[in-house]
Amino acid sequence: MNRTRVALLRGGPSEEYAVSMKTGANVLLSLQKLPQYIANDIVITKSGDWLQNGVVKQPEQVLKSVDSVFLALHGAYGEDGEVQKILQRQNIPFTGSRSLPSAVAFNKHLTKKVLENKGITMPQHRVIRNEEIALVPELVAEILHSFGPEYIIKPHASGSSVGITLVKDGKTLEKAVMQALLTTPQIIVEQFIRGREATCGLLENYRDESRYTFPAVEIIPPPEAEFFSTEYKYNGRTQEICPANFSYAERLKIAENTALVHDVLGLSQYSRSDFIIKDGQVYFLEVNTLPGLTEESLYPKAAAAVGLPFEELVQFLLETATT
């Protein structure tokens, strides 16, 4: 039997290094159980070095001896299109979306711009850049007039809820904006909608459907949590209900928007979109082009709910990898 040589890329120079390592470990375990694959565990350090068996190698050196790449990266370098550029230049099949759509989807403001006028409801927002710091009092006054009364401040490009702050009233918004601009060059101030949080995964060309959407997962953080923060994503204290107990109309809208976001952004293979549901209205928040695949992650839980075990999911993603 000819065995496929797979490079598993995990780690990376982002704040999501630890999550990526967990995703990679989970995928690696499955690859080792699938006899048709030879797994090559490649750890990308926080400084960006590629380690093969503990030895620093150039990406081209690693890639010349593999047939396919499984991307277990999250955040910058993994989801922003940078590593995809390298793989595309080498003509190596890889899991997930290509470079340009990945870059667009990773930029939250650009994602919102692309999705404008596509029939997708989103919370109101305002982008503030570091070079506008002298105008913050004026910009905050405009925001307070335009939307509220509560706000989410987030970096314009990140994942796993890293760097997100909840501001409960307009009185402290200016201070929170100034603090956020000290750590990131561009932020999004977004209308915080208190509703029920949901996520929905999509898998291309599965079960004779070009866009197969998994059942929505309702996310219920513990009572003390103000929102689904990084802490509550991975500490096991958040309740996750799949299939979610939304109305038929809400579930249908979540699935439709998940497929629409995937297609409008030009994504490939798989993605997961996040939503808030309030008073029957479905608000799109953001999309993940390389959803987490840890033991606690939502995408594999939703896949399992429709009878797709994790090992079969890993195999399917490799068999349909982007070329």
Residue 229 has pLDDT above 70, yes or no: no
Residue 214's identity, in one-letter code, is F
Domain regions of the chain by residue span: 4-95, 105-120+194-319, 125-191
Give 242's contacts (C-beta < 8 A, 6+ positions apart): 215, 216, 217, 218, 301, 302, 305
Is residue 199's pLDDT more than 90? yes
Average pLDDT over the chain reads: 93
Give the span between the Cα atoms of 143 and 274, in whole angstroms: 24
The whole-number average pLDDT for the span 278-296 is: 96
Q: Residue 162: which pLDDT band, with cuts at 50, 70 and 90? A: low
Pairwise CA distance, residues 165 & 161, whole Å: 9
Cβ-in-10-Å burial (0-12, 13-18, 19+) of 192 comes to buried
Do the beta carbons of residue 107 and residue 253 sit within 8 Å? no
CATH number corresponding to 4-95: 3.40.50.20
Q: pLDDT at residue 1 above 70? A: no
Span 105-120+194-319: which CATH code? Answer: 3.30.470.20
The dihedrals phi and psi of 171, each to the nearest 5 degrees, come to -65, -35
Per-residue pLDDT at 24 exceeds 90: yes
Cβ-contact 310, 303 below 8 angstroms: yes
Q: What percent of the chain has pLDDT over 90?
A: 86
Q: How far is CA 317 from the centre of its chain?
A: 16
**Residues 50-74: tens digit of each pLDDT:** 999 999 999 999 999 999 999 999 9
Return the DSSP state at 240.
E
Tell me which CATH code domain 125-191 carries.
3.30.1490.20
125-191 and 4-95 share a CATH fold: no
256-269: average pLDDT: 98
How many of the other CB atoms lie within 10 Å of CB of 137?
10
DSSP 8-state secondary structure symbol assigned to residue 94: B
* pLDDT tens sequence across 68-108: 999 999 999 999 999 999 999 999 999 999 999 999 999 99
